[in-house]
Amino acid sequence: MASITLKDLVKSYGDTEVLHHVDGQIIDGELIVIVGPSGCGKSTLLRMVAGLESVTGGEISIGDRVVNDLEPADRDIAMVFQNYALYPHMSVRENMAYGLKIRKISKAEINRRVEEAADILEIKQYLDRKPRQLSGGQRQRVAMGRAIVRDPQVFLFDEPLSNLDAKLRVQMRLEIRKLQQRLGVTSIYVTHDQVEAMTLGDRLMVLNGGYVEQFGTPIELYDRPATTFVAGFIGSPSMNFLPAKTTGTQAILRNQVALDLAGPLQGPVTIGVRPEHLREDPAGSLAVVVQLFEQLGANTLLHGHLDGTETEIVVSLPGHVTVEAGTVMRFAVPAEALHVFDAESGKRVEI
């Protein structure tokens, strides 16, 4: 096991810089998730740690070794890919053993490790099958088995569940979490799926256009998003954003409704409020014209706009709610549920 340090990391392809001065420290035994929309640089960053992409600037250390110039095979990492990358002509056992065989590990030791990994992953009964005789979930387990037998210092996961159906993804993501906690191997996991990121990661590194927007625990990101980008990306449905100007300790919305802030502020801001934090209240300050509702079982989503404006609002209410289109409903927003961001930079404003 080992910590991983990313120091002022830069990646360019030709003249185009795609990762901009990324810093981060991953603690020994921790699972961190790199999350962000397509093209934000997640895979590039992971592949740089793996040694599959060169480093343009800065430093990557695993433990106390700078690994910038080490070959992938010398970094003591194991990678699990999205497409499993299993050899079709080899049995499960041979697939799991292959990486050890080429490292000239003894037959007895290889057998011991393969049996142990198969036991952990509950795939013992499939050891003599070929990959094509397995389901997607079983193949994914074999791919993980191949990483486990290597007994590496670091696991790297590159969107490993994206080929599975929704139900299996949920099951496998719990299994990965349990497995990683049991083995205690420092891990980096890449996904574009914020729910997967929130449930798996000890901490999340949110990337946007090659910049780190925030690096924190799921709850830190949810409770105190550093930017409007993180605020909109983490949480489902997304946070509502209401443009406002501030005078003293009040935010004045576009329809002139005033919301009380915890302290004084100056200038234009964006007020953020999560759909699940709006409370139905006939005396509430936010009037919403409801256009449609979605009943999801445990809760109902109301979609509409802030009365007198075109600002769209989503509200999540517990239980089953039915609303006729065009109804004006009022909601209260507790001051502690308000997030304030600078209107221009999108950065969180502390008050």
Residues binding ligand ADP (CB under 6 A): 13, 18, 36, 38-44
Cβ closest to ligand ADP, residue 40 vs residue 79: 40
Instruction: Compute the least distance from the CB of residue 59 to ligand ADP, in Å.
Output: 19
The residue among 38 and 106 lying less far from ligand ADP, judged by its C-beta, is 38
CB of 19 vs ligand ADP, minimal distance in Å: 8
Least separation in angstroms between CB 40 and ligand ADP: 4
The amino acid occupying position 323 is V
In the chain the first and final C-alpha atoms are separated, in Å, by 41
Q: Is 247 helix (H, G, I), strand (E, B) or coil?
A: strand
Whole-number Cα distances in Å, 283 to 240, 279, 280, 328, 329: 20, 11, 9, 12, 10
One-letter amino acid for residue 150 of the chain: R
DSSP, collapsed to helix, strand or coil, labels residue 129 as coil
CB closer to ligand ADP out of 233 and 331: 233
The nearer residue to ligand ADP, 159 or 276, going by C-beta atoms, is 159
Cα separation, 333 vs 350, whole angstroms: 18
Residue 39 tokens read as: 């093209």
CB of 283 to ligand ADP, least distance (A): 46
Residue 206 CB, shortest distance to ligand ADP, in Å, is 11
Helix axes 166-183, 107-121, angle to 10 degrees: 130
Would you say 161 or 271 has its CB closer to ligand ADP? 161
Q: How far is CA 42 from CA 66, 251, 293, in A?
A: 21, 37, 35
Shorter beta-carbon distance to ligand ADP: residue 54 or 255 = 54
Q: Give the count of beta carbons closer than 10 Å to the beta carbon of residue 127.
A: 18
Give the strand order in the sheet containing 258-260: 258-260, 250-253, 240-247, 267-273, 339-342
Cα–Cα distance for residue pair 201/327, rounded to 1 Å: 41
- How long, in residues, is the chain? 351
Contact partners, residue 350, CB within 8 Å, separation at least 6 = none
Q: Kindly tell me which of 41 and 131 has the beta carbon lying closer to ligand ADP.
A: 41
Nearer to ligand ADP, 206 or 333 (CB): 206
How far apart (Å, rounded) are the C-alpha atoms in residues 162 and 174? 15
**Cβ neighbours, 10 Å, residue 181:** 12
Three-state DSSP class for 69? Answer: coil
d(CA 240, CA 271): 8
Rounded distance, CA 160 to CA 115, Å? 23
| Nearest CB to ligand ADP, comparing residues 13 and 87 | 13
Closer to ligand ADP by CB, 55 or 118: give it.
55
Whole-number Å distance between alpha carbons of 188 and 26: 9
Q: How far is the CB of 10 from ligand ADP (least distance, A)?
A: 12
Residue 229 beta carbon to ligand ADP: minimum distance, rounded to whole angstroms: 14
We find the least distance from the C-beta atom of residue 232 to ligand ADP, in angstroms, to be: 17
Least Å from the CB of residue 45 to ligand ADP: 7
Min dist CB 34 to ligand ADP, Å, is 8
